[in-house]
A and B are shown apart, each in its own frame.
Chain A
């Protein structure tokens, strides 16, 4: 093996009593791609921050190219050639592509004045190096996610880059964009640049990696050449258990009808949608982006007002386009983008759960029974096993899977009859995902009707009794899960 470019040895970091990293050590060689895998909360992000010099480890040694480093700061790390591409890309939305790419290079060069020609030249050169073309004068806020990522990569390359760390590089990309990215990674490796992928979505990047390091609960639990790992073994190391996809227990034939949707129509979104949902049934609605699945999900909860059609629950009709009426009737909705639509990020976990129950805990006088409210919220936290150091901490501080559980807990506290889950495990790690699937099965077993809207086919197949396929605003297929395979389903969605 070539000389180690970066060596970590016994790196430990604790945050307010919680150990985020516990004696982690591994090496990265020049031109090598390493995959650092781990679930949310496994310490991946902390490790990145330490390498980037944003956080200081409590203990441990970091060596760059044979020289042991003292206290790092972002500038020292950058000078050593360690470049981090954060999940949010850390770009400046208000500045142009060229300025974003050249900014750190200009700072590194100690420039005091703006050298416009040099900035343009740096940007043009680095874009050419990875073989892409993005208008230099465009404001970054107007770019697509994939382009923003490319700008971030260019910025890393604009100065001497020896190790590029990419945090969750593929989550927001389409399959084609991932191909482009992997090609760029291959080019960089050929140039002798090392790459550290940090991800919980792994299959995609394994093919370009030489080495895999797995973290769990802050500890290194596995390390080895990439060809020794596959999706299943990675999942096992990350979660510490086998996550098997078990199909749901079949629905008793006697299950009564719970909800009936008839002739629901919204111009330009979906047309003539009719289906029934039985008590205890998990119904999947699957379709590609733009098939109208999200509009339908929202319409069921009154967030989108359809022009025609009826929704009845237990034989009682529900007013369309009125989320309050839908909630009152016992429908719950967990949105796809829980960060912007589902949670009060800066408020506490308890507040987020109890917000839907304020009415129920207000006595006749209108004064809130705070103790009762909080007890109930705590109870739900426990029942859905939300891992939270402090229930008074803001929801923002939780990992994706735990945030999703908080949203679920809020609805469960209202004891709904029907729960509409839009993309229940988007942005959630493997372990949490299977737990969320377990929760879905539990809910159904209690007699709730659950509608899962998702384009994650394994998820739909693992959780649903029946799958409705949606295409161009219409329901085209109604398939019992047992009789359809993943490839068949993918074919029906796309054709």
Chain B
């Protein structure tokens, strides 16, 4: 197969490979199952967020409120389940979170699809409102005793084992949820007309309207779906951390969008792949978790991520521009 150098996916994959090589040279212990499971664990919540951000970018919008939806959902779910529904099993707890997320996503949906307001402005607003509302009216204290359903989910492991040096490794059950989310989203985007309509709207809203796509309905779905995924990610985050800290998560949104853009999604809409998104998340998690292995202080993380974004998105754009100049 011919390698397409103008694709972001290729570049990101190469950078990941180079990074792993450098890390393996600096620390031979890097190439271990423990590192892998750490990375996979780090990608669980980020991965779900990234899928949510991807689908919005494809539709031609941008959503920065998903972290606030996640934090809100996580906190309210923990609180409500503790107070009123402690008997809910883990899967129902996840479902509860998804329902709250859907409601919050629907608020974005009404403002964007219903009133036709710009997506960035709406979600910047709701980011602030959801977070502020939770901290003001619901609570600021960490919930350290999670409801039994969430505790049960937090203990669920797919794989568990012991390394040669006696340390333990494990892969959390939530990883399976992320994989399911990716598969489901792939199926929606590529196997349903709804998904193709999301691409179509991202390609040209006006054209979509003209051939009779119900643009508002599709947009509404997108923001509700993002809400559902964010709610799910929030509950998973709290379950894995075994605490619902209302100050968590918010602030991650730009890193997540960066990961998706790094993977080749265009801010202008209409373009983006799940493969690219997964690679983008992998790279960001790798940088977050492993920069320290290379002897680079962790404060350099954000600088490194910034450089990666500039190179990762700038290089293909520059190449495309050169190709266009040559053909003109």
Query: Which chain B residues lie closer than 8 Å to A108 at the CB level?
Result: 212
- Cα A332 to Cα B315 in complex, Å, equals 36
Query: Which residues 134-157 of A sit at the B interface, judged by CB distance below 8 A?
Result: 155
Q: Indicate if the CB atoms of B193 and A111 lie closer than 8 Å.
A: yes
Query: Which chain A residues lie closer than 8 Å to B203 at the CB level?
Result: 92-95
Question: Interface-forming stretch among B165-173, B194-202, B221-229, B293-301?
Answer: B194-202
A90 interface residue, CB < 8 Å from B? yes
- Cα A113 to Cα B209 in complex, Å, equals 20
B64-90 interface code vs A (CB 8 A; 1 in, 0 out): 000000000000000000000000000
B204 interface residue, CB < 8 Å from A? yes
Sampled A-B contacts (29; CB under 8 Å): A52-B210, A54-B210, A90-B206, A90-B207, A90-B211, A91-B204, A92-B199, A92-B203, A92-B204, A92-B270, A93-B203, A93-B204, A93-B270, A94-B202, A94-B270, A94-B271, A99-B196, A103-B196, A103-B200, A106-B193, A107-B197, A107-B211, A111-B193, A112-B193, A113-B191, A113-B192, A113-B193, A114-B193, A114-B195
Nearest chain A residue, comparing its CB with the CB of B196: A114
- Extra 9 A-B pairs, beta carbons < 8 Å, given A107-B197, A112-B192, A155-B211: A74-B209, A78-B212, A90-B204, A90-B206, A90-B211, A91-B207, A93-B270, A107-B193, A114-B193
- Cα A358 to Cα B213 in complex, Å, equals 45
Given A86-B210, A90-B206, A107-B212, A95:B192 Cβ within 8 A: no
Nearest chain A residue, comparing its CB with the CB of B191: A114
Nearest chain B residue, comparing its CB with the CB of A119: B196
A50 interface residue, CB < 8 Å from B? no
Return A69 CB to nearest CB of chain B, in Å. 16
A464 interface residue, CB < 8 Å from B? no
Query: Which chain B residues lie closer than 8 Å to A111 at the CB level?
Result: 193
B53-70 interface code vs A (CB 8 A; 1 in, 0 out): 000000000000000000
Query: Which chain A residues lie closer than 8 Å to B191 at the CB level?
Result: 113-114
A187 interface residue, CB < 8 Å from B? no
Total A-B contacts with CB atoms under 8 angstroms apart:
67
A146-178 interface code vs B (CB 8 A; 1 in, 0 out): 000000000100000000000000000000000
- Cα A112 to Cα B204 in complex, Å, equals 21
Query: Which chain A residues lie closer than 8 Å to B197 at the CB level?
Result: 107
A75 interface residue, CB < 8 Å from B? yes
Nearest chain B residue, comparing its CB with the CB of A106: B193
Query: Which chain B residues lie closer than 8 Å to A92 at the CB level?
Result: 199-200, 203-204, 207-208, 270
- Cα A192 to Cα B271 in complex, Å, equals 39
Identify the 4 closest CB pairs spanning chains A and B, nearest first: A94-B270, A92-B203, A90-B207, A75-B212
Query: Which chain A residues lie closer than 8 Å to B322 at the CB level?
Result: none
A76-113 interface code vs B (CB 8 A; 1 in, 0 out): 00100000101000111111000100011011100111
Given A99-B196, A111-B193, A113-B193, A74:B202 Cβ within 8 A: no
- Cα A114 to Cα B212 in complex, Å, equals 17
Partner of B209 from the list A54, A84, A155 (CB cut-off 8 Å) is A54
B190 interface residue, CB < 8 Å from A? yes
Return B22 CB to nearest CB of chain A, in Å. 35
Given A92-B199, A93-B203, A94-B199, A114:B210 Cβ within 8 A: no
- Cα A33 to Cα B46 in complex, Å, equals 57
- Cα A419 to Cα B261 in complex, Å, equals 44
Query: Which chain A residues lie closer than 8 Å to B207 at the CB level?
Result: 90-92
- Cα A74 to Cα B207 in complex, Å, equals 11
Partner of B211 from the list A74, A112, A113, A114 (CB cut-off 8 Å) is A74
Query: Which chain B residues lie closer than 8 Å to A155 at the CB level?
Result: 211
Query: Which chain B residues lie closer than 8 Å to A90 at the CB level?
Result: 204, 206-207, 210-211
Nearest chain A residue, comparing its CB with the CB of B195: A114
Return A78 CB to nearest CB of chain B, in Å. 6
B132-153 interface code vs A (CB 8 A; 1 in, 0 out): 0000000000000000000000
Q: Indicate if the CB atoms of A104 and B212 lie closer than 8 Å.
A: yes
Nearest chain B residue, comparing its CB with the CB of A105: B211
Return A86 CB to nearest CB of chain B, in Å. 7
Nearest chain A residue, comparing its CB with the CB of B213: A107
Return A163 CB to nearest CB of chain B, in Å. 16
Return B260 CB to nearest CB of chain A, in Å. 16
Q: Indicate if the CB atoms of A104 and B190 lie closer than 8 Å.
A: no
